[in-house]
Chains A and B, each alone.
Chain A
Amino acid sequence: EPEVTQTPSHQVTQMGQEVILRCVPISNHLYFYWYRQILGQKVEFLVSFYNNEISEKSEIFDDQFSVERPDGSNFTLKIRSTKLEDSAMYFCASSPLMGQGDSYEQYFGPGTRLTVT
């Protein structure tokens, strides 16, 4: 069964450093997402990406964040200058093109745990 993959599984970085989290969505999916989950808290939407551009983003997704689909298979999340509060689990997800009433769920990757020290 196809699955979303994410690398690395755990990333430790120092405050102020740039990090890139990588995701390989399911190959025939068209919508891509990043979510984050601070330890013990709920999953929060960051950004959605469709047709090579951001389709929606939340207030969390400020100028420190960017996303890219550099080569048609990878989908990356970059944090330019990490802060302590960026420590969280970051989930990538993908879904087929959805229309009204479609039951397509978002397929989540296993997550990357980011620890900022």
Chain B
Amino acid sequence: AQKITQTQPGMFVQEKEAVTLDCTYDTSDQSYGLFWYKQPSSGEMIFLIYQGSYDEQNATEGRYSLNFQKARKSANLVISASQLGDSAMYFCAMRLDNYGQNFVFGPGTRLSVLP
């Protein structure tokens, strides 16, 4: 069965520092997509970044980058220059391209940015 693991229930980072949020996934499929979503205290789900399983380069979106290591089945999110507004829950999710279109979410990591 497909599974996403996020081993860090909570993380702290100093403002302006970089932080890495871990995500590992388990699938035997070759074609899949990996996503990161941010959920602030207000509850909405905000898309951050996407990595396709066939993408050779790591995805980047502004201050967000995805450290994709396919052999290790990891897709860690790196946030550079943390801001107070980055404090939120962060969810890693996987979509299997050949198995429906739904997402499997990890349990999330709560990031707190300290001033």
Chain A residues proximal to chain B, CB less than 8 Å: 31, 33, 35, 41-45, 48, 50, 55-56, 58, 89, 91, 93, 95, 98-103, 105-111, 113
Contacts and interface: CB of A to CB of B under 8 A. Distances in A.
Contacts of A56: 100-102
A55 B100 contact: yes
Interface in B10-59: 31, 33, 35, 37, 42-47, 50, 52-54
Given A91-B45, A100-B31, A103-B33, A42 B50 contact: no
A43 B45 contact: yes
Contacts of B31: 100-101
Contacts of A45: 102-105
A112 to B, nearest CB: 10
B91 A43 contact: yes
Contact of A48 (B37, B93, B102): B102
Contacts, number: 72
Interface string B72-115: 00000000000000000001010101101111111110000000
A36 B104 CA distance: 12
Given A105-B35, A108-B44, A111-B44, A55 B105 contact: no
Contacts of B44: 108-111
Contacts of B105: 35, 42-45
Given A42-B106, A44-B105, A100 B97 contact: yes
Contacts of B100: 48, 55-56
Which interface residue of B37, B42, B50, B101 has the most chain A CB atoms within 10 A? B101
